[in-house]
Amino acid sequence: MKIVHAASELYPYLKTGGLADAVAALTGALADHGHEVSVFLPGYRAVLEHKDAAGAERKLRLKIEMGDQFLSGDVRVFSPRKNLQVYLICRDEFFDRRAPYGNGERDFEDNSDRFVFFCKGVVETLRLADLQADVVHGHDWQAALLPLLLREAERRHRVTLALKTVFTIHNIAYQGLFPATTFARTNLPDELYHIDGLEYYSQVNYMKGGILFADRVTTVSPRYAREIQTPEFGCGLDGVAQTRAEDIVGLLNGVDTAVWNPTVDALLPARYSRADLSGKAVCRAELLKQVGLAANFTGPIFGIVARFADQKGIHLVLANRDFFLGKNRRLIVLGSGDKRLEDEMRALATEAPTNVALVARLDEAMSHLIEAGSDFFVMPSLFEPCGLNQMYSQVYGTVPIVSRVGGLADTVTDADELPGSGTGLMCEPTAGSLGDALERALVLFADKPRYAAVQQRGMARDFSWEVAAAGYENLYREAL
């Protein structure tokens, strides 16, 4: 099949979260299966500076209609692996910035224009380069206008640009919600500014467009597909999601075993496997050293790698500060984002420098080292569309402590409830329930044979992308 993906992030070129990992792994797996895959990405500064993009060919010049203006741009293309082309939609005014979405304090004011331009750039490239896509597959709100813009361009130009469209919701909490005045920039027919279209309480909602107008809609775990149809998790789009109940399927993300695999991980000081965990001890010592904690420590290390956003339940960890101040335990946190959470975590680390370490930056190598060097990985998310770190943890022999939501509930089982098969510890997303799980972790850690059994079962799990990629292939075929 000729499969076109469009997303705002793609590992290793630009990553702020799991979206980048998921899109890279999925498109890579599809390319390996022999499909012709194109991935469209905004031409961000970081991407253009990456060595792979150095030789990118300037393929097309674009003139994109935005309201009553025309904005120019260009399209660059490179091929990082067989059967895979990366298309960059470039316009420096929009994408030559230090970060993709905002300046740290708040979102860029022209985000609506930036991603309308991106989606229109994808559609225009499909037309001018005559890509003849079987499937056009957009990810999250930044690509959610694609199905509508594509059908509109087909109508205007009397061509077929794609046979079917697919939209994947990685996180319904980020919707692309903009003032009504931005609708004019889409050049879509006025009747689409309507309750059955993009209008949402007198604003424009991109994600709503993706959910309503794609031929098929997917979420990144089965449980999240059901959750988004409820008021508790739908973030106001539960009613919209319900109208597509028949067409929404949950396909669980996987682990890219070329990147997240302790037996080959080049970002670690030592590699290890289920059969020989001695390398994990080397990683542990290196982790303690790198974050400035005493290396002779033998108690449990609790690790966290997360965007600091309300979603991740960092405040529940902070509410258990007394636990982490207790004797013979360590907390090592890699994360940044919400300033208030960062400040509170830093205060905890400053107050208890022997027990708690915070690394407040984006650091790919450190994220691998924490997965490898910790004994437990703490992820008490309030909601979690899929979550990747709890899967990475199991593969790295680090027992995950997760809340029972979304993809966390689909990928972890509780070792106290299921002594013969559990691979983690589970809690409700409350401070009290997390506190109880942390206490259970101490008990588990003290029982070496039981801890080892839980660890071994996690490491034996197969989260490879083969299953997920096959799921998407079936979905495409069935839609076509």
Work out whether 403 is an interface residue with ligand ADP (CB under 6 A): no
Q: Which helix (H) or strand (E) holds 436?
A: helix 431-446
Pick one of 209, 210, 387, 424: the residue that binds ligand ADP (CB under 6 A): 387
Site string for ligand GLC, 390-409 (x = CB under 6 A): -----------------x--
Comparing CB distances to ligand ADP, the nearer of 121 and 337 is 337
Of ligand ADP, ligand GLC, none, which one does residue 306 interact with (CB within 5 to 8 Å by kind)? ligand ADP
Work out whether 385 is an interface residue with ligand GLC (CB under 6 A): yes
CB 267 within 8 A of CB 365: yes
Q: How far is the CB of 12 from ligand ADP (least distance, A)?
A: 11
As a whole number of angstroms, the distance between CA 3 and CA 306 comes to 31
As a whole number of angstroms, the distance between CA 165 and CA 162 comes to 7
Comparing CB distances to ligand ADP, the nearer of 117 and 383 is 383
As a whole number of angstroms, the distance between CA 150 and CA 216 comes to 15
Q: Look up residue 143 and give its DSSP letter.
A: G
As a whole number of angstroms, the distance between CA 168 and CA 22 comes to 11
Of 158, 28, 134, 9, the C-alpha closest to 83 is: 28
As a whole number of angstroms, the distance between CA 30 and CA 7 comes to 16
Work out whether 255 is an interface residue with ligand GLC (CB under 6 A): no
As a whole number of angstroms, the distance between CA 68 and CA 184 comes to 9
Q: Is the C-alpha dihedral spanning 220, 222, 225, 228 positive or negative?
A: negative
As a whole number of angstroms, the distance between CA 228 and CA 234 comes to 4
Work out whether 265 is an interface residue with ligand ADP (CB under 6 A): no
The two most distant CA atoms of the chain are separated, in Å, by 71
Work out whether 388 is an interface residue with ligand ADP (CB under 6 A): yes
Work out whether 312 is an interface residue with ligand GLC (CB under 6 A): no
Contacts of ligand ADP in 18-77 (CB under 6 A) = 18-19, 21
Work out whether 338 is an interface residue with ligand ADP (CB under 6 A): no
Of ligand ADP, ligand GLC, none, which one does residue 220 interact with (CB within 5 to 8 Å by kind)? ligand GLC
Size of interface with ligand ADP, in residues (CB under 6 A)? 18
Site string for ligand GLC, 170-199 (x = CB under 6 A): xx----------------------------
Footprint on this chain of ligand GLC (rule: CB under 6 A): 17-19, 22, 170-171, 220, 253, 384-388, 407
